[in-house]
Structure 1
Amino acid sequence: MLTIYKKELYSYLSSLVAYITIGIFLIVLGLFLWVFPDTSILEYGYAGLDSLFNTVPYLFMFLIPAITMRSLSEEKKEGTFELLATRPLTDWQIIGGKYLACLTLVLFALIPTLIYYISVYQLGAVIGNIDTGAVIGSYIGLFLLGAAFVAIGIFASSLTKNQIIAFAIAVFLSFFAFSGFDSASQILSLQRFDNILINIGINEHYQSISRGVLDSRDLIYFLSFITVFLLITKTILGGRKW
């Protein structure tokens, strides 16, 4: 698995795709946080990063599928997966290596956003007047959210040889997993199941962690969510006929 991880990470970092994708993510996030008046931190009456943690999930819905779309679909298109499968590697090692490589890139995208925390920390009327505990919890929530979206992206990439189709599927599934169940709970005929639907969706658990409370139920949810999508991916690869 370590070999696949290194190969995938090197492949991403040796191309411009990862840098352009992460660069666009950071530029768009910066515009939302400092320029656009509806979401600008400067418009707040207090020192906080709520705008960042409310905006990043929606940017992740495009950033992460752009990173993961080539992970398996390119192998299928180029016919290199068969060569990979002939090596002494299990499907789990292949999936795990690719998953961790994509997750590392997501972490690389998040690290530069710490500059926003430092900026708000320094710009407050009283330096340091920011809830650091809540910020840490929110970053943990973002990382877990990213891990869940990467699992969706790897799954989508296993379905097709076309990277664009894999991207579109991953964007749709990520959006639905994050917001779809909340929207479904508002449908009149489904309101009796609203609590169940809300708890199935990612947003409820992400918001819970973002409040700075690390509840074991939320951690179990994210781990289960990731495991389910990786299991489905393993099943698809196990039944391959290409």
Structure 2
Amino acid sequence: MFAILRKEFNAFLSSPVAYVVIGVFLVATGLFVWVFPDSSVLNYGYADLGTLFNTAPWIFLFLIPAITMRTFAEEKKAGTIELLLTRPLTDGQIIGGKYLACLLLALLALIPTLLYYYSVYQLGNPVGNIDSAATVGSYVGLVLLAAVFAAIGIFASAITRDQIIAFLVAVVGCFLVYSGFDSLASVFEGGPAYYISQLGIAAHYRDISKGLIDSRDLTYFFSLIAGLLLATRLVLQSRNW
């Protein structure tokens, strides 16, 4: 698995993909956090990175599918998928290696945003007047969100040989899982609305972003990731049917 991980990650770094993804993410979040007057932290009057954590999921919704769309679709189109699958590797190792490479690239884009935290920390009055627990929770939520989006993207790439189709399917899938259930819940009231919203990522992401990392939220994310990777494995195994 680590051989596949290293190969895929090096392929990202040797192509413009990694730098475009990181650059677009940082420019987009930077504009929302520091420049646009309606969302700039400089206009808040208090030290907070809510803009970053509210904006990042929507940017990831497009960028992560752009990362994952080539993982299996390109292999199928180029005819190298058969060669890959004949190597002494299990389907799980191949999927795991490709998945972790995509996730690592997405997380690499998050690392420079720690400068945002440091800047807001220093701008606070007094210095350090920022809810660090909520910030840590929000970063954990973003990591888990990226992990789910990467799993959706890997699955979308496995079901087609066209990268554009894989991208579109992943974007739609990420949108539905992130925001679709919240939209559906708004149609209902009371108990049903709560339970429907709990089926989506947004509700669990909001809970973790408060700095309270609940085992139920972690179970939700890990179960969703495991289910999507298992579905991807079933797609690959269907070649033997």
Q: TM-score range by the shorter chain?
A: over 0.9
Q: Is the 8 A contact 1:9 1:101 kept in 2?
A: yes
Report deviation, 1:2: 0.7
Deviations 1:70-123 (A, max 9, x none): 011111110111001111011100000000001110110000010100110111
What stretches of structure 2 of length at least 5 have no aligned partner? none
Percent sequence identity is: 59
* Corresponding residue for residue 170 of structure 1: 170
Q: Which residue of 2 aligns with 1:130?
A: 130
Q: Does 1:81 align with 2:81?
A: yes
Pairs within 5 Å for 1:147-158: 147-158=147-158
Distance 2:54 2:234 in 1: 34
Q: 2:221 aligns to what?
A: 222
- TM-score, structure 1 normalization: 0.97
- Across the two proteins, how many residue pairs are aligned to each other? 241
Q: Equivalent residue for 2:7?
A: 7
Is contact 2:186-2:193 (8 Å) kept? yes
d(CA) in 1 for partners of 2:172 and 2:130? 35
Q: Cα offset for 1:191? A: 6.9
1:211 aligns with 2:210: yes
Residue aligning to 2:33: 33
State the distance in 1 between where 2:17 and 2:53 align.
25
Q: Is the 8 A contact 1:185 1:191 kept in 2?
A: no
Q: Which residue of 1 aligns with 2:231?
A: 232
TM-score computed with the length of structure 2 as normaliser: 0.97
Amino acid in the other structure paired with 1:98: K
Q: Which residue of 1 aligns with 2:121?
A: 121
Change (3 A) 1:116 1:76: same
Cα distance in 2 between the residues matched to 1:101 and 1:138 = 22
1:200-225 Cα distance to aligned partner (Å, 9 max, x none): 00001101110000100000000000
**1:63 maps onto 2:63 in alignment:** yes
Gaps of 5+ in 1: none
Q: Give 3-state SS (helix, strand or coil) of 2:140's partner.
A: helix
**Matches of 2:96 and 2:143 in 1, distance apart?**
17
Cα RMSD (Å): 1.4
* Whole-Å separation in 1 of the counterparts to 2:44 and 2:178: 26
Whole-Å separation in 1 of the counterparts to 2:142 and 2:17: 22
User: Cα offset for 1:193?
Assistant: 2.4
Instruction: Say if 1:71 and 1:154, in contact at 8 Å, map to a contact too.
Output: yes
Runs (4+) of structure 1 moved beyond 3 Å? none
Task: Name the SS of the counterpart of 2:137 in structure 1.
Answer: helix
Cα offset, 1:241, TM superposition: 6.9
